[in-house]
Structure 1
Amino acid sequence: MFLGYSAEILARVQFAFTVSFHFIFPAFSIGTASFLAVLNGLWLITRDRAYLKLFEYWKVIFAITFGMGVVSGIVMSYQFGTNWAVFSDKAGAVIGPLMGYEVLTAFFLEAGFLGIALFGRKRVGDTMHMVAVVMVALGTLISATWITSANSWMHTPAGYTIDANGNFAPQDWWAIIFNPSFPYRLTHTVLAAFLTTAFAVGGVGAWHLLRDRDNRQSRIMFSMAMWMAALVTPIQILVGDMHGLNTLEHQPQKIAAMEGHFETHTNGAPLILFGIPDDEAETTHYAVEIPKLGSLILTHELNGTVRGLKEWPRDERPPALIPFVTFRIMVGIGFLMLGLGLWSLWARWKGTLYSSHTLHRAAVVMGGSGFVAVLAGWYTTEVGRQPYTVYGLLRTADSLSPISAASVGASLIGFIIVYFIVFGMGVYYLFRLMRRTPELDEDHELDRAPTRTAGINPGPAQGDALGAHHGH
């Protein structure tokens, strides 16, 4: 024991801590890479320097975010060998190749084209530069695909056999990759990344509009972000509903914990809006309920049956409190996003999209909401999988390395100190970059440098940030 906690609890906390730091960076970089591809495409089509300025503005932010994501991911991956060696041994034949495919098909693709996308416009010409930007965006999406497939397999394992030593062996790679929860989880994750980026971009645009409502670059980024909020949020809510139905089919214990149901409801389950689940007492205290609405949402039938946690032995149940709370945080933020998107449509129709200070302040407040939502969703998913690492087959307690609680606790304290210093400084620098007004620079060097694409004259773009930080 270390400070009263077992090695298993400390190892889980350590992994949750490092993944939480790591997850926010890919969640942002996936959407930002696609945003950059759109901006660069608009610049090439229209030759409107405002789009080029925004591309230069956001590519610096993307580069820093990408770097912090890589560093935090490397640290996280070592824990499979240090803290979770038994899991790596038993499930490595399935999980290892999936993570290897991510490196071969996605990370190398991103790394190979990243330098061209960031610095190569004048060296390779507009066409090849656009290809590089698209390849980087595609690489982030492929990376999300492989990682989500590996994680989904741990929730809904398929296509495997178990050998005489109790190790998982691949039998059908198509079934492993496209396991039952993978399509829903991938779609939900990618849309969450797009919305995370959209609200971050919208928050930055709104911040600058509050200072200067006539800045055209700020108007463009705010308008594009609000279109994403208005159009993608309803799709995400629909996908979330489909994901919930899939989870009900394959992980009913998780749904019972998320909904705070300990008793089975055979004639329509209520929707518990708020309450405090108590695993020891097997009840949800102070529950605020809407009769039968839970069944309508989960089963699409008013009197549908919803199983409660008492259906399973105590040692097969996930802890209810964390999934219950984090799920409501995620859903609540989702509906706030929808509200802001609809509000922006109303303001757009009324002609006040760029002049409504109240809308802009709300967008600034919601700027970081995507990061909170993706973390809340991840906690809901992973805590709801307990007490298993491979759902129903390999327990978390049986996946741990033979290490002491003291060693895990010491490394956890070290991670906390280093992460808050290093990544705290990185996030602070990102905020400084975002506070800089995206102004057009009339004397940008792109005005003077010829492009290698025949027949196209380049326009000016931002030079201050890149010149200062990348040696241009």
Structure 2
Amino acid sequence: MFDGFDPVLLARFQFAFTISFHIVFPAFTIGLASFLAVLNGLWLATGRRVYLTTFQSWLKIFAVSFAMGVVSGIVMSYQFGTNWSVYADKTGPILGPMMAYEVLSAFFLEAGFLGVMLFGLNRVGKGLHFFATLMVAVGTLGSAFWILSVNSWMQTPAGYAVAANGQFIPEDWWAIVFNPSFPYRLAHMVLAAYLTTAFVVGAVGAFHLLRDRGNASARLMFSMALWMATIVAPLQIMAGDAHGLNTLEHQPAKVAAMEGHFETNRDGGMPLTLFGIPDMEAGTMRGAIAIPEIGSLILTHEIGGVVKGLNEFPREDWPNVWVVFFTFRIMVAIGFAMLGIGVWSLWRRYKGSIYDAPWLQRAMVAMGPMGFVAVLCGWITTEVGRQPFTVYGLLRTSESHSPIAASAVGTSLVAFIVVYFVVFGAGTFYILRHMRQAPNVFEEGLNPREPIRTAGLTPGPAMEPGDAVTQPL
């Protein structure tokens, strides 16, 4: 069935497919674990039931997302042995220990305290339960630390030597772990995870506010998410700028592809190309819509700064400009849209009508999945931009794959597609269905002008005096 196909291309498609499914779950659970820790801490500090209700609602979603992230990650690790055994052999002395550190120091921390976080509230006490929730949040950040260090080393290798058998062996573990692009990539990814989670939480809150403006938990979610968007979106843009400057220094061909920059600008600054059609064969940008000089200003912080074009590099070392150029622009556009939502919410807060803004709420619902789109586009930009290398400048993708037939890779690819859509489709359906269920909490006095609808809720023995509050966030 797959005779005549390139096994390397099929293996790349397979890894791209599985990692595209996988990355959305860690991007969500990193931010959601921190959100849950904050909710738990606020509940302990204030005694307000709305924090506990919101915590319990999102805890179920976290559990399912965490499980799907673990399963999809295990599948990816097997591909190193099946499809990329040469790569695994050559990079094993460096990447193997780092992956082990991630399991020992981060994943075990998450997994060890996850059960207490999920089921221990009424068994171990509030303080220990809060500590477990914090440890899960720390564990997710620890996993991000090690995984991004591994990926960053593949982008900007450092601290290694090459043995006689072609293996990369460690010489300086500090230089390996904290390689040149790692701090920028870590900051960029963690901020992306927080933004992704904020817009999902905000979209759910906005969805329920459009149905019932008095829902206390929906108000809490909407307000907290918008504060996160307002604070983190500009930080993310600054982190992205710093990451871009670092990439220009260490991976200039990738930046040239991101900007659709074929010819080095020797007379005047490089324009900022907003849109165009890359023509890789002719080495030019067709129908470009560009702003003169601004590209150089952004990349070099000088109006006339020189930026190498792709024609300065051998053709066989070019990444796919089409993919990198457009995914980068989608990511940036979403980032500025998030910034716009944050500014809009500040204006509504200033007017005192953050909960009476149906168009802002509709915009938040529409932006709910956009964080995942931005993460995927950013990851594609990073990984496709590294091509044609698995270890940038040192090990080519064509030299990294296993001696395996195209039919075997293609068959497993089809199996992955079928199983993933069934299993993860079911999990996603459950999450979306749970998000549609309005979290209810009995709280009086949220808005004297508009009493909360409390159909089916009456105060009883389970309701404590501390459950009544005066204002949500």
- TM-score by length of structure 1 reads 0.94
Asked if residue 372 in structure 1 is aligned to residue 373 in structure 2, the reply is yes
Secondary structure in 2 matching 1:157: coil
Give the direction of change, closer, same or farther, for the CA distance of 1:148–1:245 in structure 2 (3 Å limit): same
* In structure 2, distance between residues paired with 1:40 and 1:423: 28
Structure 1 residues 177-215: Cα deviation after superposition (integer angstroms, max 9, x where no partner):
000000000000000000000000000000000000111
2:41 alignment partner in structure 1: 41
From the superposition, tell whether residues 446 and 310 of structure 1 become closer, same or farther in structure 2 (CA, over 3 Å): farther
The CA deviation at 1:447 is 3.4
* 1:431 paired residue number: 432
- 5 Å matches for 1:33-432? 33-266=33-266, 267-432=268-433
Indicate the SS of the match to 1:123: coil
CA distance, structure 1, for counterparts of residue 459 and residue 425 of structure 2: 32
Shift of 1:162: 0.2
Q: Cα–Cα, structure 1 residues 71 and 381, in superposed 2: closer, same or farther, change >3 Å?
A: same
- Superposition RMSD in Å: 1.7
* CA-CA distance at 1:118 after TM superposition: 0.9
Cα distance, 1:67–1:329 mapped onto 2, change above 3 Å: same
Match of 1:453 in 2: none
> After superposition, what is the alpha-carbon deviation per residue over 1:397-431, rounded to whole angstroms, capped at 9, x for unaligned?
00000011111111111111111111111101100
Aligned equivalent of 1:466 = none
How many Å separate the matches in 1 of 2:417 and 2:458? 45
- Give me the whole-angstrom Cα distance separating, in 2, the residues matched to 1:10 and 1:325: 22
Any idea what SS the aligned residue of 2:376 has?
helix
Ranges of 4+ aligned residues in structure 1 off by more than 4 Å: 441-446, 457-461
Aligned to 1:447: 462
**Matched-pair contact (CA < 8 Å) for 1:40–1:51:** yes
The separation in 2 between residues aligned to 1:222 and 1:202, in whole angstroms, is: 5
| Residue aligned with 2:124, SS | helix
Mapped to 2, the partners of 1:444 and 1:82 lie a distance apart of: 59
Distance in 1 (CA, whole Å) between partners of 2:461 and 2:238 is: 44
User: 3-state DSSP class of the match of 1:402?
Assistant: coil
CA offset digits 1:371-415 (Å, max 9, x no partner): 000000000000000000000000000000001111111111111
Give the Cα–Cα distance (whole angstroms) in 2 for the partners of residues 412 and 279 of structure 1: 29
Q: Which amino acid aligns with 2:258?
A: M
CA distance in 2, matches of 1:143, 1:445: 43
Query: 1:458 deviation in Å?
Result: 10
Q: What amino acid sits opposite 1:95 in the alignment?
A: L
Report the Cα distance in structure 2 between the residues aligned to 1:276 and 1:422, rounded to whole angstroms: 38
Q: Is the contact between residue 446 and residue 458 of structure 1 (CA under 8 Å) also seen in structure 2?
A: no
% identical aligned pairs: 65
Distance in 2 separating the partners of 1:385 and 1:210: 44
Task: Pick closer, same or farther for the CA change 1:86–1:445 going to 2, 3 Å.
Answer: farther
**Aligned equivalents of 2:248, 2:384: Cα separation in 1:** 16
> Residues 446 and 315 (structure 1 numbering): CA distance in 2 closer, same or farther, change over 3 Å?
farther
- Could you tell me whether the CA contact under 8 Å between 2:47 and 2:467 is conserved in 1? no
* Separation in structure 1 between the aligned mates of residue 465 and residue 439 of structure 2, nearest angstrom: 19
Aligned to 2:452: none
1:464 corresponds in structure 2 to none
- What TM-score do you get using the length of structure 2 for normalisation? 0.94
Deviation track 1:288-314 (CA, whole Å, cap 9, x = no partner) reads 111111000000000000111000111
Cα pair distance change 1:37/1:379, threshold 3 Å? same
Distance change (3 Å), C-alpha of 1:85 and 1:459 = farther
Q: 1:400 to 1:211 in 2, by over 3 A?
A: same
Q: Distance in 1 between matches of 2:400 and 2:426?
A: 34
Aligned mates of 2:90, 2:223 — CA distance in 1: 49
Say if 2:149 and 2:182, in contact at 8 Å, map to a contact too.
yes
What secondary structure, in the 3-state scheme, does the structure 2 residue paired with 1:384 have?
helix
| Pair 1:70–1:458, CA change in 2 (3 A) | farther
Which secondary structure state, in structure 2, belongs to the residue aligned with residue 275 of structure 1? strand
CA contact (8 A) 1:227 1:341 kept: yes
* Corresponding residue pairs, total: 453
Judged with a 3 Å threshold, the aligned counterparts in structure 2 of structure 1 residues 398 and 359 are, in CA distance, closer, same or farther, namely: same
**CA–CA separation in structure 2 for the residues paired with 1:413 and 1:209:** 42
How far apart, in 2, do the equivalents of 1:34 and 1:72 lie? 22
Deviation at 1:5, TM superposition (A): 3.2
